[in-house]
Structure 1
Amino acid sequence: MKHYSFEEWLQYVNDEVNENTKEELENHLYSCDQCLDQYLIAVEASESSLPILSDISDFTDLVMAEVSKQKPVVPDTVRNLNTMSMVPSVPDTKMTNMKKKPFYQQAVFHYLLAAAATLLLTFSGVFQSLAAYANSIEKPQIQEKKPSVTEGVINKTFAWMDSLEKKEANKK
C-alpha cells in the first residue's frame, strides 16, 4: 500500500491538487490509518490559514439549509458501492414508473396467511392433540422393577448373614 507524505496531505488541505489526485487521496483515507493521522496533522498545521467565521450559528443555518435541499442517492449496482453522491432533489421517475408489488408478495399477505393457518390448526384440535402427545411422552412409564442378578445375590448373602447372627444370638 502506498502511503502519502505530509507535504502531499498539506497540498490536499490547501486545495492545491487536481481532481484526480484529490479523489485518490480521499479514497486512500478510508483504508489507511497512518495517512489519516498525517492528514489530521496537516489540517492542524494549516488551521491558522483557514478563514475565521464571524457568526458561527448563521454559518450552521446556511449549511443545514443546503443539506436539506439535497437528498442521498443510492448507487446503482454497476457503480462502486462505497461511493455515495449527493444530488439536488429531483422527482424520481424510476419510482413512479415502477409497478406495484402483487398482493401475495406483500408482508400483509404473509401475516394474514400465518394467522389463518394458526386459527385453522387451533380450531381443528391439532394443537390440543399435540399437547396430549407431549404429556404422554413426558410422563415416565411405570414398570415393575426387577432386581438384577447382582442385587439378588447381595440380598441373599445379607439374609444368610442375618440368619447366622440370629442363631449365634439364640445360643447365648
Structure 2
Amino acid sequence: MKHYSYDEWMEYVSDEINDQKREQLENHLYTCDQCLETYLQAVSANVTSLPVLSNESNFTDQIMAMVAPKAVPNTNNDLSTMETVQLVPDTNNTINTINTINNTVNRKKRFYQQAVFHYLLAAAATVLLMFSGAFQSLANYANSIESPQHIQEKKPSVTEGVINKTFAWMDSLEKKEADKK
C-alpha cells in the first residue's frame, strides 16, 4: 500500500492540489490508519489558517436548517396533503419558523398516526393472542422440541470405546484366573 507524505497532506489541507489528487487522498484515508494520523497532524499544524466560526452555538442549527427538507402543509391549509420544501435561512428567525411548522404538523396528526394508538393496538393483539391460546401452543411446541426424546443418543468417543474394551478384557482375564483356582 502506498503511503502519502506529510507534505502531500499539507497541500491537501491547504487546498493546493487538483481534484483528481484530492479524490485519491480522500479514498486512501478510508483504508490507511497511518496516513490518517499524518493527515491529522497536518490539520493540527495548519489550524491557524482554517476559518473561524463566528457563531459556534447556532452553527449546527443553521446548517441543518439549510440542508434538511421539512414537510409543511400545502397552500390549502389542508394537513392531509404535505409538500416537501427546502427552507433557506434568510433571517435569524429561521429556527423559530421551523419549530412553528413542526409544532403545527405534530399537533394536527390523525388518531391512527399517534403513538398511543399503536400501543393500544399492540396491547389488544397481545390480549387476543393470550386468550386464543396461541402463546400456550407456542410454549408447548417449544417444550416438545426441548424434550429428551428429540435429543439424539450420545455416541461414545473412540477413546471411551477403547477404555471400555480394555476394562472388559481385564475383567475377563481376572475371571479366568479366578476359575483356574
TM-score range, shorter chain: 0.3 to 0.5
Which TM-score applies when normalising by structure 1? 0.40
Between Structure 1 and Structure 2, whose CA radius of gyration is higher? 1
